[in-house]
Chains A and B, each alone.
Chain A
Amino acid sequence: MVRRIPPRRDRRLLAPLAALLVATVATSAAAQLSSRAVADAGPRDWAITGGMVHVGNGTVLDQATVVIRDGLIVSVEAGSDAPAGMGRLDAAGKHVYPGFITALSDLGLRAAAPQGRQAAGPGGGPSPPPPSRGPEDRPDTFSWRLAADDLQADDDRMAARRRAGFTSAVTAPRGGIVGGRAAFLNLAGDDARDLVLDPDVAVMVRLGTRGFRSFPGSAMGVIAYLRQLFMDASHYAEVWRMYEEDPAGLARPRYDRALAPLVPAAAGEQAVLLPAALDKEVRRMVGLAHEFGIRPVLYGGHEAGESAAFLAAHGVPILVNLNWPKADPEADPDAQVPLRTLRLRDRAPAGPAALAAAGVRFAFYMGEAPRSGPGPPGRRGGVPGGRGGSGDDLAAVRQAVERGLDREAALTALTMAPAEIFGVADRVGTLQAGRIANLVIADRDIFEEDAKVETVFVDGVIHRVDTDDEEETDGEETPGHEG
Chain B
Amino acid sequence: MTRVGRNAFGIALALSSVCAVAAGQEEESWIIQNARIHTLAEGAEPIESGSILIRDGRIVEIGEDVTAPAGAAVIDAAGMDVYPGMMDSVSQLGLTEIGAISATVDTVELGEMNPHLRAATAIHPSSEHLPVARANGITHAVVAPGRLGGFGGGGAGISGQASIVHLDGWTVEEMDINASAGMVLTWPTLSTRSFNLATFSMDRRSFREAKEEYDRQVAELGEVLDAARRYAAAGEAGARERDIRLAALGPVVGGEMPLLILAQGEREIRGAVEFTKEQGVKMILLGGSEAWKVKELLVEHGIPVILGPTQRLPGEEDEAYDQPFTTPGELHDAGVTVAFATFGSSNSRLLPYEAGHAVGYGLPQEAAIRAITVVPAQLFGLAEDFGTLEEGKVANLIVVNGDPLEIRTEVEHVFVNGVPVSLDNRHQSLYERYRARPHPER
Contact = CB atoms under 8 A, between A and B. Distances in A.
Interface of A: 211-212, 330-336, 338-340
A331 B318 contact: no
Chain B binding surface SS class: loop
A212 B199 CA distance: 10
Contacts of A212: 200
B267 A334 contact: yes
A123 to B, nearest CB: 22
Chain A binding surface SS class: loop
B207 A330 contact: yes
A339 B317 CA distance: 8
* Size category, B interface: 10 to 19
A211 B200 contact: yes
Contact of A336 (B206, B210, B318): B318
Contacts of A331: 192, 207
Contact of A332 (B192, B266, B316): B192
A340 B317 contact: yes
B190 A332 contact: yes
Nearest to B206: A330
A338 B314 CA distance: 13
Interface of B: 190-192, 200, 206-208, 210, 266-267, 316-318
B316 A336 contact: yes
B317 A338 contact: yes
A234 B316 CA distance: 46
Contacts of B192: 330-332, 335
Contacts of A333: 207
Given A330-B192, A334-B267, A339 B208 contact: no
Nearest to A211: B200
A331 B191 CA distance: 10
Contacts of A336: 316-318
A340 B316 CA distance: 12
Given A211-B200, A340-B317, A330 B208 contact: yes
B207 A338 contact: no
A332 B317 contact: no
Given A333-B207, A334-B267, A339 B200 contact: no
Nearest to A339: B318
B190 A338 contact: no
B318 A332 contact: no
Contacts of B266: 334
B92 to A, nearest CB: 29
A332 B200 contact: no
A331 B192 CA distance: 7
A231 to B, nearest CB: 32
B429 to A, nearest CB: 38
Contact of B210 (A332, A338, A339): A332
Contacts of B191: 332
A376 to B, nearest CB: 10
Given A330-B206, A332-B190, A339-B318, 8 more contacts: A212-B200, A330-B207, A331-B192, A332-B207, A336-B316, A336-B317, A338-B317, A338-B318
A338 B316 CA distance: 8
Nearest to A213: B200
Nearest to B318: A339
A399 to B, nearest CB: 25
